[in-house]
Amino acid sequence: MKLLLRDKVAKLSFVALLAASSAAMLYTPTAAAHGEKSQAAFMRMRTIHWFDLNWSKEEVKVNDTMTVTGKFYVFAGWPETVDKPDIAFLNVGIPGPVFIRAGSWIGGQLVPRSVSLELGEIYEFKVLLKARRPGDWHVHSMMNVKGGGPIIGPGKWTTITGSMKDFVNPVTTLTGQTIDLETYNLENTYFWHALWYAIGLAWLAYWVRKPMFIPRSIAIESGKANTLITSTDRQVGIAFTVGTIALVAFGMTSTNEKYPITTPLQAGLLRGMKPFEMPAKTVTVKVEDATYRVPGRAMQMTLKITNNGDTSVRLGEFQTASVRFLDSAVLEDTTGYPDDLLAEDGLTVSDNSPLAPGQTRTVQVTASDAAWEVYRLADLIYDPDSRFAGLLFFFDESGKRQMVTVDAPLIPVFI
């Protein structure tokens, strides 16, 4: 009697667990932003450097489009612990299908599939997005690297207005038929999901009605395992198996008859992406040393800068892990870059007077802002390979800029 009671309790617990699991699958809470802060600092500093980003709109209606454009530098000192971007896919980081990606381009070439990227190259990109679900959403640039995971770029809040019920996604097939991908064959999708779910529940229900846990364990331990499966059980199992195979065969046959012309999903690799040509570099930089002062949330670099050009230059920006540190006396941001990633007066240089042609100067450069802690970049000091990397932007007298990359060990200072 106690065994039967305990088994009933176990059954009820199993049923409750099944119901909870089903409810969890159906429950989809809304997500607004992303966990880019949890991505390792060295990943954001030494893989893909996103810059010159622009979000064409901050507010867009359902069915209208916006673009995310910019450039990215594939860091030459790519970390050994991350697979190289031999197979990569340009994407966007958004909280679910709030936009649909209508198209993406690298170097002016349409890239609907994976691409191969070269270390040390700069690429220009564009992603076309179509608004689908109203709300306030964080929209990021993102590169998915096979074996390396998603490498997320800067994100900006974008508002979608209107009603999702008005969203349409029409496409014309190769046979000339125009369909709306948002609702196409939706009833059929619901039907097959419901059918297979019902079959699964029927299978579970058949076995749940029998003694499940404790009596079965006792029977197995006493050497009577062969008595647990009856001839009726075997017949039911065969019926389920035959029925499943027949159902799959029927579905395949009817689908082939209704849709005789099909094209497999395209999964090739695009190579030979055209790099973006930046102006020739006339400035060279050597990192003498670099430290991160933990109490002050500031990184200090000793840089030896040489100007080999024919016009004087000044350092205006240091960018790392999508955070931009500016010297406002040299550069003022007018692009609407996300405020939380922009330190407008976060860059100080011990001597930032114009560096004349042919001149070499050693300066102390400090990048300070709360973003070091907010975006967990300071965690770099706990990494086994404690190195930092970033982009330095120099500006000449006419406002033209050139980019120089830096990569060096970083030593923490706790006092």
Give the range among 181-185, 339-343, 381-385 with minimum mean pLDDT. Answer: 381-385
Q: Quick one: 131 and 49 in the same domain?
A: yes
Sign of the Cα pseudo-torsion (51, 56, 60, 65, in order): negative
Q: Structurally, how many domains does the chain consist of?
A: 3
Q: Which domain holds residue 347?
A: 283-413
Q: Quick one: 160 and 188 in the same domain?
A: no
Nearest Cα to 405, choosing from 297, 313, 287?
287
**Predicted pLDDT of residue 29:** 46
Alpha carbons 92 and 142: distance in angstroms, whole number: 5
**Predicted pLDDT of residue 4:** 47
Longest dimension (CA), the chain: 96
Give the confidence band of 22 by pLDDT, cuts at 50, 70, 90. low
CATH number, residue 304: 2.60.40.1580
Give the range among 161-170, 265-274, 280-289 with minimum mean pLDDT. Answer: 265-274
Residue percentage of the chain with pLDDT more than 70: 91
Q: Quick one: 321 and 250 in the same domain?
A: no
User: What are the backbone angles phi and psi of residue 395, rounded to the nearest 5°?
Assistant: -125, 135
Would residue 269 count as lying in a domain? no
Alpha carbons 300 and 278: distance in angstroms, whole number: 27
Give the confidence band of 264 by pLDDT, cuts at 50, 70, 90. confident
Q: Quick one: 151 and 218 in the same domain?
A: no
Q: Which of 168, 192, 227 is the last residue of a domain?
A: 168
Q: Quick one: 162 and 196 in the same domain?
A: no
Q: Which of 168, 197, 217 is the last residue of a domain?
A: 168
Would residue 91 count as lying in a domain? yes
Would residue 108 count as lying in a domain? yes
Nearest Cα to 183, choosing from 198, 164, 197, 196?
164
Would residue 265 count as lying in a domain? no
**Predicted pLDDT of residue 2:** 47
Q: Quick one: 187 and 157 in the same domain?
A: no
Alpha carbons 355 and 394: distance in angstroms, whole number: 10
CATH number, residue 86: 2.60.120.570
Would residue 3 count as lying in a domain? no
| 376 and 346 Cβ atoms separated by less than 8 Å | no
Q: pLDDT digit string (tens) for 28-58?
A: 444 455 567 778 888 999 999 999 999 999 9
Q: pLDDT digit string (tens) for 156-215?
A: 999 999 999 999 999 998 888 999 999 999 999 999 999 999 999 999 998 888 776 777
Would residue 17 count as lying in a domain? no
The residue with greater pLDDT, 334 or 5, is 334
Q: Which of 145, 168, 191 is the last residue of a domain?
A: 168
Alpha carbons 101 and 329: distance in angstroms, whole number: 39
Q: What is the average per-residue pLDDT within 235-239? A: 94
Q: Quick one: 159 and 208 in the same domain?
A: no
Q: What is the average per-residue pLDDT within 319-326? A: 96
Alpha carbons 55 and 153: distance in angstroms, whole number: 13
Q: pLDDT digit string (tens) for 121-131?
A: 999 999 999 99
Q: Quick one: 318 and 357 in the same domain?
A: yes
Q: Quick one: 311 and 204 in the same domain?
A: no
Q: Quick one: 245 and 315 in the same domain?
A: no
CATH number, residue 228: 1.10.287.710
- The pair of structure tokens assigned to 347 is 């860059």
Would residue 28 count as lying in a domain? no
Would residue 375 count as lying in a domain? yes
Q: Quick one: 159 and 192 in the same domain?
A: no
